[in-house]
A and B are shown apart, each in its own frame.
Chain A
């Protein structure tokens, strides 16, 4: 392995005078023995799946449970009205993140980034900033390698599992990954990518995983929406030259330790948080026909 934390990753880019995506590609070649072309085309296929998922979601989908679907369409119509408060690019990112997760909830085809439950943030922001930054296909594929590099560090030093670390480990990680990749695409430095990741993750620390009825729908879809906006703002802050007082690796470590001390009820068990509200319990009965007992184990992502 060439890097095991963000500090080493940034150092490598400085020593070799190259980008984070390039380091990730080089490491992948070393680990798998595959050629650059093979690795690139594999990631390009993932990009195509993401684009298709966004398109499908923007046409409108509905999950089997009926809990989610259709919000991406509403948001696009609202953007088209031209009367938005928070601005076009942010809301576009949000609607495309929502679109992806609505497709996921409806058993459509998505690319996990890093998980299925958090699959909206990376493509949502990518296809929104695409409108502004006008990247080449190669730059779009590199966006995914840069996201992957930061996700790789989190997965190996902390967790990307809601059962292990709560939503902060899933949507939190996804949002940090996206923020870092936006910075690289926008022409920021590797260190600025690290700052963006740190700023994003700091603001998602403590986020619990409390899926209603144990399904990857409520609040997962809207958590991806907010994760996308968080990533966009943090990227802009980093590009403005704002730094995180706490280094990125220490933020990741803090996230890990918070996850370890998080009660089981708030880690994908559908026992606590929103999942334990009266309305959630009612929905659960409706969906599963009133036969579900309270869950005492991890539920899904």
Chain B
């Protein structure tokens, strides 16, 4: 069942006009921001499919930038997000891509500063629900509805079990989990959606495990 919560139906609270093209876009931008962990200096958004055709009429562009500025779907500042970003000296670029995406509402978000960059692809599947389909070249699925932990690690035996053990110790239940890797023995990514809010101590402990490169939390 795609829809699990009553608040998927009655909600989200959002700035209009479109749950898929405005609220969904803000959520995709905000996931990028949350993963990047800080305000970027440059934002490049590529729109595909219906996003490309109608983004101006729906405020998809301002919503996406608002999301990257860490604004929620209902934050009034979304309407002036591009101006706010520019006043902070953030460089913004929008690209209209002609490639036909698997889902009609697809966007690629690339954010960066002097210390690093992040690239993700998100789709808006209706009613404000989104999925992140790709992160830094890794394929993944993140509903954005539950707290989630992303663990970048080396592809070695025992790593997944060790992570699961730490979560069990903190009484955190895993609702959904996926593992992707670039190649055998190479860098890999665990995507873990959990039911409970994540104790910061759990994250710290995860970081101390062998073969773990980076641990990031995405709260709802």
Query: Given contacts A111-B10, A163-B104, A300-B21, are A31 and B5 in contact (CB under 8 A)?
Result: yes
A297 at the interface (CB under 8 A from B): yes
Q: Which of B27-69 contact A (CB under 8 A)?
A: 49-50, 52-54, 56-60
Select the stretch in A40-48, A83-91, A191-199, A253-261 that faces chain B: A40-48
Question: Nearest 5 CB-CB pairs, A to B?
Answer: A104-B16, A151-B9, A300-B21, A298-B104, A148-B6
Q: How many A-B residue pairs have CB under 8 A?
A: 177
Q: Which residues of B contact A292 (CB under 8 A)?
A: 53
Q: Which residues of A contact B23 (CB under 8 A)?
A: 112, 116
Q: Write the residues of chain A forming the contact surface with B, with a CB cutoff of 8 angstroms.
A: 1, 4, 24, 27-28, 31-33, 39, 42-43, 45-46, 49, 63, 65, 103-117, 119, 122, 144-145, 147-149, 151-152, 155-156, 159-161, 163-164, 177, 213-217, 268, 287-288, 292, 295, 297-301
A9 to chain B, nearest CB (A): 12
Q: Which of B74-122 contact A (CB under 8 A)?
A: 74, 76, 79, 100, 104-105
Q: Write the residues of chain B forming the contact surface with A, with a CB cutoff of 8 angstroms.
A: 1-23, 49-50, 52-54, 56-60, 74, 76, 79, 100, 104-105, 125-128, 195-196
Closest A residue by C-beta to B104: A298
CA distance A25 to B209 in the complex (A): 40
Query: Given contacts A1-B1, A114-B127, A164-B126, are A301 and B18 in contact (CB under 8 A)?
Result: yes
Closest B residue by C-beta to A164: B126
| 19 cross-chain CB contacts under 8 A | A46-B11, A49-B74, A65-B57, A103-B16, A104-B17, A105-B17, A109-B74, A111-B10, A112-B13, A112-B127, A112-B128, A116-B16, A117-B19, A151-B10, A160-B127, A164-B126, A295-B54, A300-B54, A301-B126
Query: Given contacts A288-B56, A300-B21, are A110 and B6 in contact (CB under 8 A)?
Result: no
CA distance A111 to B20 in the complex (A): 13
- CB distance B21 to A301 under 8 Å? yes
- CB distance B19 to A148 under 8 Å? no
Chain B contact residues: helix, strand, loop or mixed: mixed
- A152: contacting residue among B3, B14, B60, B79, CB under 8 A: B3
CA distance A288 to B53 in the complex (A): 11
- CB distance A116 to B195 under 8 Å? no
Q: Which residues of B contact A122 (CB under 8 A)?
A: 10
Best-buried of A110, A288, A300 by chain B (most CB within 10 Å): A300
Q: Which residues of A contact B10 (CB under 8 A)?
A: 43, 46, 111-114, 122, 144-145, 147-148, 151
- CB distance A116 to B53 under 8 Å? no
* Given A144-B10, A161-B127, 14 further pairs, Cβ under 8 A: A1-B4, A43-B10, A103-B16, A108-B16, A112-B127, A116-B14, A116-B22, A117-B18, A148-B9, A164-B126, A215-B17, A297-B53, A299-B54, A301-B21
Query: Given contacts A112-B12, A113-B10, A300-B54, are A32 and B17 in contact (CB under 8 A)?
Result: no
CA distance A115 to B96 in the complex (A): 26
B42 to chain A, nearest CB (A): 26
Closest B residue by C-beta to A43: B10
Closest A residue by C-beta to B57: A215
Closest B residue by C-beta to A294: B53
